[in-house]
C-alpha cells in the first residue's frame, strides 16, 4: 500500500469521530480509507470507491488484514457518485475526499502502460473492464493530427506538441503503435531532447488524461458531491498538476461566490519538507478544502 499523501492534514481537517460517515472517491489500496474507517468505528462507515476493479480487490485484501468491517467498497467512477451512494444506501456524508493523482500501483503493478520506464502495452485505462473506453494505443492509432496536437499541447503543456503529433502519424503509417517504448521512441525522434526530465513525460500525462476523460470527470464528481454531503460537510481535493488545480480552484471559488459554502483554507495546503522527504510522490500535491452551508 502506497504512502497516502497529506494524511495527517486531511484527518485534522475532517476530524473523524465514532459515528461519522465519509466517502473516499479514489480509495485505491486504502491509504486514506483505512485511517478514516478506524477513526469512525464502530458505528460510522466509509464508502470506498475506485474505478479500477483490481484496486478494489487490493483494498478488500488490506481491509481483511486490518480486520476492518465498516468500509463499503464500490467499483465505479466517482462521476456517478450520487448513483453509487444510492445503490449502497449510504447516508449523507460528513466529508468526501478526492485524490486526483494516479497511484504508484498503476505505475509499478498494473501492466497497463502508465509509465515510460517500463515497456508495456499502451492501455492507460483506470477501468479496463469498461470496453466503451478506447485504450491509449487505440487513440494514438486513430486520432487526427489536429486532435493529437491539441491534447498534447493542452493536457501535457508540451511545447513540441506539433512535432510529436506529426511523428505519431508518420510512425503509425509504418507500424501500429502498441507499446510504451513505441511512444517513447516517437517522442525522442520528435524532440531530440535528452534533458533531466524524460521528454515523454508530458505526452504520457496528456494521453492518460484524454483516455480517462480526467478533467470532465473531476467536474462531474465535485458537483455530485454537493448532493451527498450533510449540511456543513467537507470536500477535500488533492491535485497534482496545474490543470487539475486550476479547475478545482475555479469551481470552489465560484461556489463560494454563489454562497454554496466557503473555502476552508484560503491558501493551498502543500506537504511539508518531512513528508516530501519520506514520500517524493507528494512533492507536487495541493490540498483544497471546501465546507458547504
CATH class name, domain 7-105+214-292 = alpha beta
pLDDT, residue 23, reads 99
Cell numbers 521512441 correspond to 185
- Given a cut of 70, is residue 177 above it in pLDDT? yes
pLDDT, residue 196, reads 65
Collapse the DSSP code of 236 into the 3-class scheme (helix H, G, I; strand E, B; otherwise coil) and give the result.
Answer: strand
Contact 202, 156 (CB under 8 A): yes
pLDDT, residue 222, reads 98
Element (H, E) at 27: none
pLDDT, residue 266, reads 86
pLDDT classification of 195: cutoffs 50, 70, 90: low
To which CATH superfamily is domain 134-211 assigned?
Putative methyltransferase TM0872, insert domain (1.10.150.170)
pLDDT, tens digit (0-9, with 9 covering 90-100), for 63-89: 999 999 999 999 999 999 999 999 999
- Given a cut of 90, is residue 34 above it in pLDDT? yes
Residues whose CB falls within 8 Å of the CB of residue 172, separated by 6 or more in sequence, listed in order: 140, 141
pLDDT classification of 197: cutoffs 50, 70, 90: confident
- Stretch 4-25: mean pLDDT, rounded? 97
Instruction: Say if residue 46 is preceded by a cis peptide, omega within 30 of 0.
Output: no
pLDDT, residue 3, reads 84
- Given a cut of 80, is residue 1 above it in pLDDT? no
- Given a cut of 70, is residue 282 above it in pLDDT? yes
d(CA 142, CA 165): 12
d(CA 5, CA 172): 39
pLDDT classification of 272: cutoffs 50, 70, 90: very high
Of 68-82, 93-107, 126-140, 219-233, the one with minimum mean pLDDT is 93-107
C-alpha cell at 90: 449510504
Long-range Cβ contacts of 239-243 (<8 Å, 24+ apart): 239/100, 239/101, 239/285, 239/286, 239/288, 240/100, 240/101, 240/284, 240/285, 240/286, 241/205, 241/284, 242/157, 243/154, 243/155, 243/157, 243/209, 243/215
Contact 162, 191 (CB under 8 A): no
- Stretch 45-74: mean pLDDT, rounded? 97
Contact 12, 18 (CB under 8 A): no
Q: Which residues are annotated as a binding site for S-adenosyl-L-methionine?
A: 30-32, 50, 78, 99, 106
Sign of torsion, CA 129 134 140 146? negative
- Given a cut of 80, is residue 194 above it in pLDDT? no
- Given a cut of 70, is residue 238 above it in pLDDT? yes
d(CA 111, CA 95): 33
Average pLDDT, the chain: 95
Q: Locate CATH 3.40.50.150 in the chain.
A: 7-105+214-292
Give percent above pLDDT 90 in the chain: 89
Number of residues in the chain: 293
Beta-strand runs (E) in 147-221: none
Q: Which residues are annotated as a binding site?
A: 30-32, 50, 78, 99, 106
Q: Locate CATH 1.10.150.170 in the chain.
A: 134-211
Amino acid at each position: 500500500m502506497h504512502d497516502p499523501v497529506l494524511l495527517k492534514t486531511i484527518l485534522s481537517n475532517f476530524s473523524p469521530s465514532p459515528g461519522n460517515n465519509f466517502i473516499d472517491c479514489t480509495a485505491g489500496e486504502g491509504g486514506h480509507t483505512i485511517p478514516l474507517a478506524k477513526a469512525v468505528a464502530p458505528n460510522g462507515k466509509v464508502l470506498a470507491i475506485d474505478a479500477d476493479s483490481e484496486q478494489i480487490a487490493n483494498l478488500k485484501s488490506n481491509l481483511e488484514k486490518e480486520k476492518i468491517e465498516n468500509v463499503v467498497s464500490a467499483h465505479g467512477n466517482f462521476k456517478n457518485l450520487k448513483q453509487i451512494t444510492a445503490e449502497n444506501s449510504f447516508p449523507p456524508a460528513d466529508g468526501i475526499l478526492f485524490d486526483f493523482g494516479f497511484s504508484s500501483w498503476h505505475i509499478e503493478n498494473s501492466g497497463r502502460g502508465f509509465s515510460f520506464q517500463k515497456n508495456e502495452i499502451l492501455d492507460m485505462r483506470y477501468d479496463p473492464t469498461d470496453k466503451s473506453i478506447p485504450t491509449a494505443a487505440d487513440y494514438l492509432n486513430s486520432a487526427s493530427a489536429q486532435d493529437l496536437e491539441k491534447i498534447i499541447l493542452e493536457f501535457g503543456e508540451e511545447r513540441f506538441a506539433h512535432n510529436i503529433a506529426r511523428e505519431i502519424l508518420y510512425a503509425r503509417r509504418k507500424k501500429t503503435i502498441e507499446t510504451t517504448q513505441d511512444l517513447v521512441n516517437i517522442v525522442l525522434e520528435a524532440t531530440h531532447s535528452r534533458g533531466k526530465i524524460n521528454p515523454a513525460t508530458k505526452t504520457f500525462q496528456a494521453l492518460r488524461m484524454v483516455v480517462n476523460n480526467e478533467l470532465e470527470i473531476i467536474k462531474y464528481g465535485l458537483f455530485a458531491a454537493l448532493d451527498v454531503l450533510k449540511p456543513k460537510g467537507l470536500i477535500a481535493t488533492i491535485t497534482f498538476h496545474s490543470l487539475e488545480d486550476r479547475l478545482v480552484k475555479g469551481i470552489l471559488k465560484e461556489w463560494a461566490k454563489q454562497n454554496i459554502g466557503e473555502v476552508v483554507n484560503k491558501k493551498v495546503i502543500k506537504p511539508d519538507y518531512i513528508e516530501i522527504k519520506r514520500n517524493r510522490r507528494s512533492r507536487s500535491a495541493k490540498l483544497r478544502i471546501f465546507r458547504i452551508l
